[in-house]
Structure 1
Amino acid sequence: MKKLLNIRYFLIGLAMSFFAISCVDLEEEVFSDVTADNFFQTEEEFISALGQAYSSLGGLGNHSGLWSINELASDEITISTKGGDWFDGGVLLQLHQHEFLPDNPFFNNSWNFLYGGINTCNRLIFSFESLDNPNSPAFIAELRALRALYYYWAMDAFGNIPLVTSFTETEPPGTSSRTEIYNFILSELNEIIPLLPVAKDGTTYGRMTKWAALMIRMKLYLNAEVYTGTPQWALAAADAKEIINTGPYSLMPSYRDNFLINNSGSTENIFVYPYDKVFAGGFNWVMMTLHIASQSTFNLTQQPWNGYQTVEEFYNSYIDPVKNPGVQGPVWRGLALEQSEGTIDGRLSNFLVGPQFRSDGSLLEDPGVEPFDATGRNGDPNGTPITFMPYLNEIWPQGLRQAGARIGKYEFEMGGTNNMSNDFVVFRLSDAILSLAEAEFRLGNTTEALALVNQIRERAGNLDPFTTLTEENLLAERGREMYVEMTRRQDLIRFKKYGEAWWPFQGMNRPKRVHSPGSFLELFPIPEPQRLANPKLTQNPGYN
């Protein structure tokens, strides 16, 4: 019921948005007038309008946008070129190999996603500010919090960006510095956090609350040294403690339950986007990661695209070599792990590995599998039976069709469509716990930090607690817990590990592009189409 309540008003907002865009014939007969004076009278009418701002978040769960640029540029995810599939003009290789070019369409898609959300927030804020209605201030605060989220993502990705808060401004904006954007977001959050709702119920599900806004501010402080040059560990710790100690959230007993098809009952998820396969589509991971033949595994209505894969070294980070001797074999790990019950990280539910089957239990085969030869270089050693191997032979030009552990973090629906109904998790309590652990660690409070990290390890299951905490195992634990939650690139930059010499596949079949912490590649380029449309925008250093 919680999800249905929100989708109802979300759909009203979408319908209004469509109506506003579609009605361009000024000679049409008008049967009724919907104006600020006669529409924004009840809370439900305000919420239906808010749905237009939240609907922009629907771009998070699909291919070629903000999620893709963050994940493909990290050490978590890659998309190998599989013969004639997935080369796409080299734009995917650019992202993973850190050869970013301003004309890469993924950057422009991400920019449009972010500023589309910002512009919608600005428009609704302008509309609500013109009303003499007691409901207006609360909803304006909510819109400012959502706008802060869009700006936080934009600043993290692109750094120096335009700051636009007026809906009526006609002059194209220039570029503001990353520090100026940081200060704006922080000022906004400081002002509106006391005005936001604190309840966790059907009225606030999928909407900005005090706790979601605190997560944004905590993230600002956690990355403050990267953004401004000045660390703010104590302030990050204070916000994390407020979320953990006074917020209405608790860790779910099972990690997996946060990502089920019906995950609206999670006690851990702080802010989500409520996807629905019928009413709010766009969550396409089932298409993006599964093999073409996996259609028969889940009786899907469409064939998947056989694209996104996990980097082998990242998958291996879940495996304890002490408890699992010999598991680090040269080809794949699926069966070996299944035979080691009680000795594996419970968060391996993040992945699909091993033999794949049809829905009737029969073995799934791939007649197009690459033939294996004695050298082990030119084909799939598992043959035609589909076996998702963590092993990646290469990402270009002949990546194996079955290579790479597939993204299994969110439950796939039997008989599902190309759109998933799982609610997309933006912020989770476990992130706040690990962020507090890191802030305490940076402040020298290692005992407190160790206890917090071990709380997350204990929930994962089958893991011994850490006896000491280091930067290395803290970063690794964040990676295992937060896989594909759009945090890894940011974490690698903050831990000064982004683009190091060990970067998997960074230079496969090409000269390696290794860069040091602080490289210009820690920011994505301002998209070329945006600079052509607005000459006032300044390109980030290194991309001119």
Structure 2
Amino acid sequence: MKISFKYISYFFLLVLGLNMTLTSCTSDLDVTPGDDDEFLSEQFFQDPASYKQVLAKLYAGLYVGGNDGDGQPDISGIGGDFSSYLRLLFVTQEFTTDEAIIAWADGTLPTLNSQTWSPANEFLAGTYSRAFYEISVANEFLRQTTDEKLTARGVDANLKADIAAFRAEARFLRAFSYYNLMDLFGNVPITTEADPVGFFYPVQKSRAEVFAFVEAELKDLDNSLAAPRTNEYGRIDKTAAKFLLAQLYLNSKVYTGVDKFNDAGTVCADIINNSGYTFANVPYSYLFSADNDVNGAQSEFIFPVISDGNAIRATGGGMSFILHASIGGSMDASSRGMDGGWQGIRTRREFVNLFPDETATGDKRGTFYTNGQSKDIKNVGTFTDGYAVTKYINKKSDGSAAQRNDIPDTDFPMFRLSDVYLMYAEAAARGAASANTGTAVGYINQLRTRANAATINASQLTLDFILDERGRELFWECHRRTDLIRFGKFTGASKIWQWKGGSINGIATESYRDLMPIPSRIIQANPTLKQNPGY
């Protein structure tokens, strides 16, 4: 069953000091709860049920932007809907690439479409702050769940055992945020539960140091996370840590200058052969339907971000954003299981061209809505310029309705086994001794057979093919920016798409934009931070 988030609506956690990376060092968090439903940490943790509630808060933080769904935003200066973790990952990983573009002109949002952002970009500030907010909550949870604290509160042995598992998951979610910060911003501070609570400026660490911290955490968590496929659906286990470790190694050359493709292949082979997660032998569309937690797709979901129309009141965050914003023009919102469209997101012509046709005939994954839409994007602000994308749907795989049509049930597949197949294949193509080319071709052909696409042979398993195949299989799953950077095609002129660089036909962009700037408001809050080169 899905982990329940519905009972955390009024949870309030006072976290001092470690969120100094938000709009001010401590003032945004140095507040007194305003009603009887809010608690300070020490008082809150007297309740035995509180420990799982905080864990639920950490997981819910991936989807919603504040308590009470998008209300009571966690982060000052940006609304709860705009500051949803998943929404911000989508904005930074997709709008900056060939896979997506958004019509809206909110603030500095258009600069993400064109790779012309600056340190003043409020969406980058939101992304940075959201990740550190999650880290701060995890750190406070770890402080409050030491053996000494639990013994002093008289926590019984059975609950202590549960809390030990919760601590491991909190550490994973913290590592996940550090991975995203390192990937997007490079050199960032590291704070843990060992740091003091109160005013201080955390020391900025090099990207390589953050890499080493995340690697060490993920390796150590293999000793304490739940065994594969033994946790509640929606909660992570040892395999999620291995998946993130494989991602870390696959991108090691970018992050540290050191090639670790062989390590990536080794970890991927371990996941494929020993985790118990299995390739979902169901139609590709099932993976992105409202019942993807029960329709067979879940067999390959290593780390889903849970959606639930009744339990998670997120009107503008997470999948509510992705689904609403991708509906417009002549599209019938009800056919997508939704109550309306926000006329926002569609894709660019260069991404459409990765598929053999525009009708999902030669590849079932290429599902575009073209009626009344032009493939060419002459005006970024016009939704009908650019094909719409119908990958996600808020209907069950049999076509029946979800729980409601304003907030979707469709879970977001943050990590899935198909990506492990693709990472293994890339390791093989890059010459890793730990990955066999013939085996990799077999994995790729499983993906392509499910998509009703032509199979390939070993000679076709090139790096260019793998980058394109990652796009076809994983588009709109928050991987594209990282993938393009790893292949040397995010900035520069080696890969051009419409409106890259702000030009209708695309132009080369500066290589320093492979890293996002440290947001201005973050540096104002912590003047010891150094800006990334070029900004």
TM-score interval, normalised by the smaller of the two chains: 0.7 to 0.9
Aligned partner (choices 300, 304, 309) of residue 277 of structure 1: 309
Greater shift, 153-162 or 466-475, is seen at: 466-475
Aligned partner (choices 440, 454, 460) of residue 428 of structure 2: 440
1:425 is the counterpart of 2:416 = no
Aligned partner (choices 353, 369, 384) of residue 369 of structure 2: 353
Distance 2:518 2:189 in 1: 11
Whether the aligned pair in 2 keeps the contact of 1:119 and 1:167 (CA below 8 Å) is: no
Query: Which residue is equivalent to 1:404?
Result: 386
Query: Which residue is equivalent to 1:310?
Result: 347
Deviation of 1:257 (Å): 1.4
Give the 3 Å change call, closer, same or farther, for CA 169–467 of structure 1 in structure 2: same
Aligned partner (choices 373, 380, 393) of residue 388 of structure 1: 373
Distance 1:495 1:12 in 2: 43
Deviation of 1:299 (Å): 8.6
Aligned partner (choices 475, 478, 501) of residue 470 of structure 2: 478
Larger Rg: 1
1:451 is the counterpart of 2:442 = yes
Aligned partner (choices 125, 129, 132) of residue 112 of structure 1: 129
1:131 is the counterpart of 2:144 = no
1:101 is the counterpart of 2:95 = no
Task: Using the aligned pairs only, state the percent identity.
Answer: 30
TM-score (structure 1 length as normaliser): 0.79
Whether the aligned pair in 2 keeps the contact of 1:309 and 1:405 (CA below 8 Å) is: yes
Distance 1:140 1:32 in 2: 19
1:50 is the counterpart of 2:50 = no
5+ long unaligned stretches in structure 2: 16-28, 65-82, 396-400
Q: Which amino acid aligns with 1:453?
A: I
Give the 3 Å change call, closer, same or farther, for CA 299–318 of structure 1 in structure 2: closer
Whether the aligned pair in 2 keeps the contact of 1:17 and 1:52 (CA below 8 Å) is: no
Aligned partner (choices 226, 242, 256) of residue 214 of structure 1: 242
Whether the aligned pair in 2 keeps the contact of 1:118 and 1:150 (CA below 8 Å) is: yes
Structure 1 residues 234-264: Cα deviation after superposition (integer angstroms, max 9, x where no partner) = 1111111111111121111222212110111
Query: Which residue is equivalent to 2:496?
Result: 503
Distance 2:407 2:430 in 1: 41
Distance 1:288 1:196 in 2: 36
Whether the aligned pair in 2 keeps the contact of 1:440 and 1:448 (CA below 8 Å) is: no
Give the 3 Å change call, closer, same or farther, for CA 168–347 of structure 1 in structure 2: same
Give the 3 Å change call, closer, same or farther, for CA 388–115 of structure 1 in structure 2: same
Structure 1 residues 342-392: Cα deviation after superposition (integer angstroms, max 9, x where no partner) = x510112xx34133xxxxxxxxxxxxxxxxxxxxxxxxxxxxxxx234x12
Aligned partner (choices 232, 244, 268) of residue 260 of structure 2: 232
Deviation of 1:466 (Å): 3.7
Give the 3 Å change call, closer, same or farther, for CA 46–311 of structure 1 in structure 2: same
Structure 1 residues 461-514: Cα deviation after superposition (integer angstroms, max 9, x where no partner) = 232324521111111111111101111111111111112424212145479651
Structure 1 residues 377-433: Cα deviation after superposition (integer angstroms, max 9, x where no partner) = xxxxxxxxxx234x123244xx54423222322213458434211111110000011
Greater shift, 307-316 or 127-136, is seen at: 127-136
Q: Which amino acid aligns with 2:355?
A: Y
Distance 2:482 2:37 in 1: 52
1:68 is the counterpart of 2:91 = yes
TM-score (structure 2 length as normaliser): 0.80
Aligned partner (choices 173, 179, 182) of residue 208 of structure 2: 179
1:189 is the counterpart of 2:218 = yes
Aligned partner (choices 189, 202, 211) of residue 162 of structure 1: 189
Give the 3 Å change call, closer, same or farther, for CA 245–29 of structure 1 in structure 2: closer
Distance 1:113 1:93 in 2: 21
Q: 3-state SS of the aligned residue for 2:150? A: coil
Count of aligned pairs: 471
Give the 3 Å change call, closer, same or farther, for CA 353–25 of structure 1 in structure 2: closer
Whether the aligned pair in 1 keeps the contact of 2:14 and 2:41 (CA below 8 Å) is: no
Give the 3 Å change call, closer, same or farther, for CA 538–511 of structure 1 in structure 2: farther
Deviation of 1:139 (Å): 2.3
Greater shift, 237-246 or 273-282, is seen at: 273-282
Deviation of 1:22 (Å): 12
5+ long unaligned stretches in structure 1: 81-85, 320-326, 328-332, 356-386
Distance 1:88 1:485 in 2: 23
